[in-house]
Structure 1
């Protein structure tokens, strides 16, 4: 009788409030059968996939050979379809060993995505994704008060907001044509728009393609260059001059970190295609660009300057200063080698398969931040051309009343 009442109550809950049911009840109900299922099948799957440690040394013929496999300590199920197994590793097995076999384990449990996250020494989380919450397009929402330590750009596959740290870092966004690099850049400008409007954040943009990518929203930028390489080089050198002045000012006042204000705004330098920036310039201009960009990347963070650079080819010959970007964003890439180029050695083994991102899901990416080897899968919001035009119009500087009056007088004189 009690069981019938419980089942009836759950069915009514699912029909009346499906959102809260899916968030609160469904994961707990799934855990009731998935936890025993994983524990029952784990020994066979781990052995077949090679997650075993064999004994070394002298083994007697009449002594049974014992192999050790990771032990499941805990199973969790999230509302977004993420199933996590906390594994205790036997002596002789490392997190990299588990990561190298994660894809095989995922196929054994019939899931498309499997990756490994370090929990603590000797323990790892094996994450198995059965459904993808990032399949649908994410539309921008009205941004709230801006905090440079976490500007919302989209959502992670854990269902939590993707907050991008702007202050104290530089970011490299790598992806093939059509991967959605523009959506990351415009989501960032959209998230910063309240601070830009208030005047304590400025965005300088460089579009080597003549304004084809960023020119649509040039009203959002305090400075914009999309023409001659020499003009773009001058813009970078002006950012270096600003960096030098701020460094002297901070040292004079005994400060080590820049605090943004209307008088001294945080500067975000956006470069749409880093390789094209120097591809068609004269050699002397190329050297000036490399020198200016190197100074900004090595000395700009402490004085309130952030460089966001997008690139199609993350090869060493194209991005010689790749290691100077603490934050790396890998969107859809052409081959597995490029994944480790962007996110660091072993990133793909740990589940960052950026070369497997579908062409039908632009904006999906893997993100690695400074100080950690963990990689997070995210998707940025998508701003349409109309959204970008509205954003540009809302952020474009208004003509002063004196300027308007002068134009009116000139019109009357005519």
Structure 2
């Protein structure tokens, strides 16, 4: 039985339907591929971008729907949205769904709206530098960077999007990265917790109880990721880190661990605190011989400290062992370069005091005179006159790659000792990175540690226990610690 071939018009019709179907289903694949290629990102990150552009809060911030309405000509029919022509089809459909009642005589340009918003948002793999900041080897399928342009908005308005983004993408981590870009904010996003092993470890006053200093020569105050205790060898020491990095940790640990030796007379400590902060709060205690905050008083104290050292040298007291008869003298300076700038403004008396401080660093070790200094501002020129005599170096999070290696040694960052790569301690990460830094003592090579800390209540008890005058210690702590001490405010209370 012969079957007649289908008519030509039917074949043409079938071919046209096939072509139309191919165009309908292949076009979305091609436009998405082209957009991924243009952005140089893999498919899974493009999917994340589309998901982000599907979020109402993000779209309303960058491309509010009202800006994408236009009037139809009289008698003109509203065209179909054709979401499939967009590389962000899901986002277009979501936007259309949010506009169910477009006014009669108007049309909503959803594809144009999403395209404009997409120009303000970037999702990409982490750079090598960004990967360093989160420790370990992040899974590229779960961890990536999000860049949000400010696009003329108040940065605070863009920051308000963070909770919506975290929820939309199902993220466990959404943290700002430290950068100097004035036009955008960059975030690290991850579905998995990102933790340096030290971030999961913490120690408060119980650390000092379990690891008391047995001699003023070594002060236990930190630990490695293996749980090994690290002690600060008592010597000239620099503590360097930005606000909130945890500089208070080693400063307060030094005072706490020295307190038994202060009590028996084998150690005397003095304090200079231009910030009226960490050290100033001890001014009414029996721990310090003297605490000063003004420039004039600082000049007097430095000169007095230097004079005491010279008397010991003249008496032949070298290789001094700490004892009540030959006590060690320790000067603690909080924000040493603020002090330096203040001394410069005092002219000759100020710079004479600075020279005396440098002399203590050069000659004090042999006769039991040491300086522990902290700063959040450091410059190469200022450090040049001090670095050679600062045997102990503690570098917490700071932002200069040059200063990192200048302080810790050439090639330190290259070998993994990179303080610029430490994540900022923020509310988003529970301040888990506060107190993490690198130390370098007489042994030579840097090592990464986390410093134990005193909670606000433990600090209050410690100060109260050493305050014997009629003095409102709690009021001082509220005035100094709770309001002004950025480093302590970055630490959780143990209670």
TM, length-normalised to structure 2:
0.51
- 386-395 vs 362-371, which deviates more? 386-395
For 2:424, the equivalent position in structure 1 comes to 359
For 2:330, the equivalent position in structure 1 comes to 268
SS class of match (1:241): helix
1:250-265 equivalence runs, <5 A = 250=316, 256-265=318-327
1:146 aligns with one of 214, 219, 224: 214
2:288 & 2:136 partners in 1: Cα distance? 51
Cα distance, 1:145–1:368 mapped onto 2, change above 3 Å: closer
1:110 & 1:306 partners in 2: Cα distance? 38
Aligned-residue offset at 1:137: 3.0
1:136 & 1:204 partners in 2: Cα distance? 32
SS class of match (2:454): coil
Kept in 2: contact 1:266–1:304 (CA 8 A): yes
Deviation readout 1:251-273 (Å, 9 max, x if unpaired): 6xxxx400111132111110000
Kept in 2: contact 1:236–1:293 (CA 8 A): yes
Kept in 1: contact 2:395–2:439 (CA 8 A): yes
Matched, 1:370 2:428: no
Deviation readout 1:365-399 (Å, 9 max, x if unpaired): 10111252x11111111112332232223234679
Matched, 1:389 2:460: yes
1:330 aligns with one of 388, 395, 401: 395
SS class of match (2:381): coil
Matched, 1:278 2:340: yes
2:302 aligns with one of 236, 254, 263: 236
Kept in 1: contact 2:237–2:371 (CA 8 A): yes
Largest Rg, 1 or 2? 2
- 130-139 vs 363-372, which deviates more? 130-139
Kept in 2: contact 1:205–1:221 (CA 8 A): no
For 2:369, the equivalent position in structure 1 comes to 305
Cα distance, 1:366–1:246 mapped onto 2, change above 3 Å: same
Cα distance, 1:303–1:134 mapped onto 2, change above 3 Å: farther
SS class of match (1:247): helix
For 1:318, the equivalent position in structure 2 comes to 382
1:389 & 1:325 partners in 2: Cα distance? 31
SS class of match (1:318): helix
Q: Alignment length, in residue pairs?
A: 273
Q: Could you list the runs of 5+ residues in structure 2 that have no partner in the other structure? A: 1-127, 139-193, 426-432, 471-495
1:195 & 1:352 partners in 2: Cα distance? 33
1:391 & 1:338 partners in 2: Cα distance? 35
SS class of match (2:315): helix
Deviation readout 1:188-235 (Å, 9 max, x if unpaired): 1111121112221121111012x2232223315323333321211111
Cα distance, 1:110–1:131 mapped onto 2, change above 3 Å: closer
| Structure showing greater relative contact order (alpha-carbon pairs closer than 8 Å, 6 or more residues apart) | 1
SS class of match (2:448): strand
SS class of match (2:439): strand
1:362 & 1:153 partners in 2: Cα distance? 14
1:317 & 1:131 partners in 2: Cα distance? 33
Q: Could you list the runs of 5+ residues in structure 1 that have no partner in the other structure? A: 1-101, 113-128, 400-414
Kept in 2: contact 1:174–1:311 (CA 8 A): yes
Q: What is the RMSD of the two structures over their aligned residues, measured on CA atoms?
A: 2.8
Deviation readout 1:344-366 (Å, 9 max, x if unpaired): 21111111111111222111110
For 1:192, the equivalent position in structure 2 comes to 258
